[in-house]
Each structure stands twice: as C-alpha cells, then as structure tokens.
Amino acid sequence: MDAKDILGLPKTPLPIPQEKKSRPQKDSQRKPDGISREVYALTGGVAPLMPSIDVSQLKRRPPSDEKITWQWLPFTSSARKDDLQLYHWVRVVNGVPPTGDYSFAKYNKSVDVIRYTDEEYEKYLTDPKWTKEETDQLFDLCERFDLRFIIIADRFPTHRTVEELKDRYYSVSRAILVARAPSPGEVAGHPLVKEPYNVTQETERKRALSMVLSQTKHQERKDAEVLAEAKRIAESRMAARAAEEPDLPVPSDVGPESAEGAVGPGDTISPANVQAPAAAIAPSTSVIADNASTLASLRMLRVYLRTYALEQMVQAASSSAGLRTIKRVEQTLQDLGVNLKPKVPTKAVCAEHLELRKEILTLLNLQKQLQYKEAEGSSFRDGSYGDMPGTAKRSQRAADQDRTFVPDTISFGGDRVVKREQKRKGPGRTSETPSSPAGAHKRPRKMKASDL
Amino acid sequence: MPHTAIEAQVEDGGSASKPQRIIKLSKTTDDSDKKGTNKRVKDIEICVPIVYGTIAFYLGRKASESQSHKWTVYVRGATNEDLGAVIKHVVFQLHPSFNNPTRIVEAPPFELSECGWGEFEIGISIFFHSDVCDKHLDLYHMLKLYPEDESGPQSTKKPVVMESYNEIVFPDPSECFFARVQNHPAVVVPRMPAGFSLPVLAPVENTNEKGRGDTKDHPLSQWFLNFSEADELLKLASARQQVQAHIVKLRRELSVIDGMPQPLKPASSYECT
C-alpha cells in the first residue's frame, strides 16, 4: 500500500478509509514478540505514527490541468548597465513564459554618494591634509564599494586609516549638504548634520574595544572581581555609614595609634607579617570576612607578601565554613597532590590555588546537599524515623569521602548503600533525619535556597 | 592633581574605616614633599619575586664545639637580579647568643655569613627606598644546619640549602618608583594599559658603588634552587579539572533527585544503571 504511494502508481479512489483499514492491520502485524508491550512502547509505540504529510498528497500537488515545461531562454537584467543577454531555465506555463524583470534585479541597491563639482571643492572642501586628487579617489572608491570603508581603506593608494577616510568622507558630504541647502534649517535634521563623525571618539572607542577583546581570561576575572568588590564596598559603605555615625570618634582614636604601633620599625618580632594587626584593626564593619574587603584591605597596605595575601584570601573564602570543613578541604588538597601552601607562590599560582580551594568548598557543599537529599528521599520512602544505622552510615560515608577522592563511589555508591541497608534491615528504618517527614522536607528546601 | 589622587584613594578604599584612612592620608601629604611620591599609579601592582634562605656548610676537620658550621643567610632576586633598586637595606636578627645579633646589610647582595653550631629562627626585615615604601617587611627563616637524612657523616662539600620563594607586592606604587623600575630585570611590572603615559624618568641608576649587586655569579649560586611555577600550575590545573568534573556530576545528581516526584521503587528498571 505504501509502496504504491512511493512509486507514484494510481491510487484507489478513497485513500482515507483505506488507511484506517490498513492501520489496524499493521497494528496486529507490528506487535513484537519477545519484548513486552510496555518496553516496545518506550521506543515509540506499537502503532506507527500517521505521517504528518500525506505521501499521496505530495505527488498530487502539481495541478494536472496546467501544462508545465522548462525552457532554456535568454534574459536581461535591469541591474546591469550593459545589454548582456544570459540564458537560464525558465518555467513555462501553458506556453507562456514569465514576464517582468529579472527577479533578483531589485536587490541591486547602492548608496547615494554625493558628488561635488570642482567649483564646490575650491569653495568649501579644501583641507590641508587632503589633496583634491585623494579626495576624488576616495569618493570614487566610496561609490564603487558602497561605503565599505574597510575595503576602501585597503584599496586606497596612499596609506590612510579607516577613521581618517571616514572623517574626510563625512565632513565633505556634510559640507556639501550644508552648502547646497537653501537654508541651514532644512538640513538640520539630516543625520550627517545632526551627528557629525567624531574621529577622536571613534579612534578611542576602537582602541578600547580592541583592548577588551585582547584581555586574557585572567584579566576578565580580575575585572569582574574588582567590579564586584566595588559594588560590595559601595553597599557596605552605605550600611556602615548609617551604622557608624555615633561611633565616629572612637575608631579615629584607636586607629592611628594602633597603626603606628604596628608599623613601628624593627622592634616587633611577632609572627610573620606585621601588617596583619594594622589591617585587621582598622575595618570595624562586619564585612571583614568578605573577599572584597580582603582585597581592599590588601590594597591599603603599602607592601605585602604574596603568601600573606593568599592566606588572607583563603581565610576570607573559608570564613563561612567550620573548622571541620576546612580540615576536609585540606585533606582533599593533599589527596589531589597539591601543596597546602604553594611552593612557588607567584601571582598565577596563588590565584589558581585560591580558585581550587573555593571549588573544593563548593564540592563539599554539594556533597552535603546530596547527602541531605538522599536522607530525605529515604525518610520519605519509609515515612518513619530512624536512628542508629543511619548515623553509622553517615559517619561511614563521610569518612569515605574524606579519605578517598574517587568520584564514582561517592555518588551512586551512596544511593546503593541506602538501598542495601534497607534490604538487610527489612522493615526497619534507615532514615538519617529524626524529624517528621514534613520537617525533613523543610531542611532540604533551606539547602536549596542557599547559594553555592 | 594631588587632590584627585587623594580623592581616588578615599573612594576605592575598603570597608568603612573612614576616619583612620583620612588621618593616614594627611600623613602622606605632610611627610612627602618629594615629587612623584604623592602620585600613585592606580590599579597596578609591582611585584618583586625574591628568594630568601640559608646555605650551611659543615666545617669538617676545622669544626669546633661552638663552631661546627659556616652558614650564610641571604635575600636574593628570584632570577638573581640586583635588588638594590628596590631594597635599601636588610636587617638580619640573629640569636641573642651572637655578638651584635642585629646585623644590618646596607648594600646588595643582601647576605650575612656566620659560624655557629645551633639552629634558630632568623628574623629578616627588609627596608625599602623612600619612594618605594616607608613600611618594612618582616620575614622569618629557620636556619637549618643538619641534613634531612642523618645517614653517615656530614660532607663538607655539600651544603644544607633551605630556600623559600615569595613575592613582594606593592599595590598602587608611586609614580616615581614605577618609572624608575619600569625596565628593571628584578622587578615584574605589568604593562601600562594603552593610552597611559608616565613621565620618562632617568633609567635605573646603579647606586651600588661596590660593584654589581646581582647574585648571578655569586660564589654560592651553584646551590641556589630553581623555582618554576610551571609544575605547580600544571598540578593545580589538573586538580581543578578533577574537582570541576566532580562538581558537574554532583549537580546533575542533585537535579535528578530534585526532579523525582515519587520515591524510587525497590525493584525498578532504574537500578540497572
């Protein structure tokens, strides 16, 4: 039946009821043996889908009452300035060839390049940096290449930058426009007059763009960081200004004394980096632990060691983490074979080290989240409270994660552990969360809201 | 002009330690009449990579009870270039059992040699030229005389070397300093963003009359360690990749769990995965 359609052989007069009949036939034919119906349903279903395009309709499109031939005929195009006659295949309907211009001629658009006379040049357009010859050449090229200045710059005989060419072209056009206009008011609305081409601005803009383009990823990150820092500083200053109005006199007394005391030359053999007390005492807001204020406080120091900077940044990054998490981060670093304190602390190395630590923190957070989710899942399953086996499992899993850094075991392994425990214990509980299911729901939701 | 510099500093300062900063700034304008030290180059940090540490030789037959080792403590440029353009003098603070434990070295190479028997922590204070920084920097280094593996007698030929690499960072350096060290081999100066121009001051002057201050041909240079960031960068990069891959995996799992409306059936087809 379908084969006949494909071959284009004449169809029986009622195609639709035929298809309906054929469908149930195909239905019983196609039901597979050996696989269950459900599985077969997964792969697209038992019934073959109705083709959205009726195959028979495709063949019937060309109306049979018209006679179509294709002929090799000559044609001209209004877009051409000469009388060149080319040939192409033309669809002739009932012996009548198509009329009208060549269908693509309407796309032949060009720019209206203003041409000036020699008189006008002498009167309005002379310029110390441009000879008449050059200006003429420029305008010729502009017309030829439809103001594609990159090409014009390339073909221009003497070496000129794109901005110079544009400047000359636009200022000449503008001058001519203004000169030819009966009154200045009439041309005031013309874009050339309203917004003249600004060479210096353009050059600046392009230079800035190329700078941005050639920025390395590192610089991009730094810029983003600085911008974020600036934003945070602005915000914290707003908050601090409100909070600190009454406290103004006090820090000003404490400030310089402690700063001087800390900077006192040579007689402090306090542990590395004397600048630490000076930097730590000064800021009295609660935003100290933030990355941005660390950067800012580092910049306040006139000099510091790269290792000191790294320590500060690490501290700021781990400020929200407890001691145990920090220990886990360090353990992970060791497992990865990375020195806790870089041996060659260059700027690049320290930046990478910091990013790595942050990523490990993210990782640990995600693991914790996953644990909670699984716990929630298991408690939801059982709908009950669990205790001992759960905690033992959790500590075991945590210990596993601390010790080994093998990705696969942690993810699905955890899931399996839960299931195995279930099977072993039978109807017993394996939930880790002692609270009610509603409560268990609450906690993961809080975790979801937290930003990672 | 100076006003704009001060204003800029106030604006981009840190958290609201306003009062302290204002006082600090007035100090700057008070005590520096030198041209160029008021003006600072913003958003640029000058970095001086240094290596500091000790090299200790066992004296062998010439050793006595109280003087068994001859050691040298030093601060050198990481590429062995002359640090004299940046550092004015270095103060080494030795164990009080030494005579005059506070030793000042006023010219490069910034080093100090002594004989002794004990290991102790040496305090190294680096003082910079006035246009560089008026604060000094303190470092600490543990003098090591005895090698890690104590097998066999100590050799007089092979010393015990302990070096640490670090970088001195000057954020917002003064224009004068910047111009002075722009092309100095010991200093890492990032290129100015295009369009910036500084007054071209005299090129680096060698104020060391004694001769070269660099340590390229230093008698101990054969023992200097090489610090290359390449290894560390590679290791860090691979570590980050691992962590990132793991994060992606976990995120996917989390989203799977979030997407699951029903709890898993115990014996479903999902377990096969």
pLDDT digits (tens, 9 = 90+) for A338-358: 888 988 999 899 999 999 999
Whether residue B228 sits in one domain with residue B112:
no
B62 domain residue, yes or no: yes
Determine, for residues A304 and B125 on separate chains, whether the beta-carbon distance falls below 8 Å: no
Distances in Å between the alpha carbon of B21 and those of A24, B24, B26?
Answer: 87, 5, 9
Most confident of A94-98, A405-409, A444-448, B89-93: B89-93
Chain A residues lying within 8 Å of B240, measured CB to CB: 352, 355-356, 359
Whether residue B93 sits in one domain with residue B48:
yes
The amino acid occupying position A178 is V
Whether residue B173 sits in one domain with residue B57:
yes
Determine, for residues B258 and A272 on separate chains, whether the beta-carbon distance falls below 8 Å: no
B25 domain residue, yes or no: no
**Listed range (A181-195, A390-404, B39-53) with the worst mean pLDDT:** A390-404
CA distance A446 to A439: 11
Residue A161's contacts (CB-CB under 8 Å, 6 or more residues apart) are A153
Whether residue B234 sits in one domain with residue B128:
no
Whether residue B248 sits in one domain with residue B174:
no
Whether residue B163 sits in one domain with residue B51:
yes
Count how many Cα atoms sit within 13 Å of the Cα of residue B185 in the half-sphere of its side chain.
Answer: 12
Ramachandran angles phi, psi of A353, nearest 5°: -60, -45
CA distance A272 to A308: 8
Chain B residues lying within 8 Å of A405, measured CB to CB: 242
A433 pLDDT more than 70:
no
B116 domain residue, yes or no: yes
B261 domain residue, yes or no: no
Mind listing the pLDDT tens digit for each residue in B224-268?
888 888 888 999 999 999 999 999 998 888 888 877 665 554 544
B104 pLDDT more than 90:
yes
Nearest CA in chain B to A363: B247
**Listed range (A64-78, A165-179, A242-256) with the worst mean pLDDT:** A242-256
CA distance A132 to B138: 70
Interface test with B, best of A214, A287, A300, A371 (most B CBs within 10 A): A300
Nearest CA in chain B to A422: B266
Chain B residues lying within 8 Å of A346, measured CB to CB: 49, 167, 229
Determine, for residues B242 and A353 on separate chains, whether the beta-carbon distance falls below 8 Å: no
What does the pLDDT average to over A354-369?
90
CA distance A138 to A165: 8
Whether residue B175 sits in one domain with residue B41:
yes
Whether residue B145 sits in one domain with residue B45:
yes
The per-residue pLDDT for B216 is 84
H or E element, residue B100: none
Does A2 or A89 have the greater pLDDT score? A89
Contact A37, A31 (CB under 8 A): yes
B23 domain residue, yes or no: no
Determine, for residues B233 and A349 on separate chains, whether the beta-carbon distance falls below 8 Å: yes
Whether residue B140 sits in one domain with residue B50:
yes
H or E element, residue A437: helix A437-449
Count how many Cα atoms sit within 13 Å of the Cα of residue B245 in the half-sphere of its side chain.
Answer: 9
Residue B141's contacts (CB-CB under 8 Å, 6 or more residues apart) are B52, B53, B54, B73, B121, B122, B124, B162, B164
The per-residue pLDDT for B52 is 94
Whether residue B97 sits in one domain with residue B133:
yes
B180 domain residue, yes or no: yes
Range of the domain at B179: 37-190
Whether residue B56 sits in one domain with residue B163:
yes
Confidence class for position A148, pLDDT limits 50, 70, 90: very high
**Number of domains making up chain B:** 2
Whether residue B232 sits in one domain with residue B186:
no
A328 pLDDT more than 80:
yes
Mean pLDDT of chain A: 72
B41 domain residue, yes or no: yes
Confidence class for position B141, pLDDT limits 50, 70, 90: very high
A125 pLDDT more than 90:
no
The CA-CA-CA angle for residues B173, B178, B181, to 5°, reads 130
Above pLDDT 90, what percent of chain A?
A: 15
Most confident of A276-285, A346-355, A434-443: A346-355
Mind listing the pLDDT tens digit for each residue in A155-197?
999 888 999 999 999 999 888 888 888 887 777 778 888 888 8
CATH code (residue B55): 2.60.40.1970
A237 pLDDT more than 50:
yes
B88 domain residue, yes or no: yes
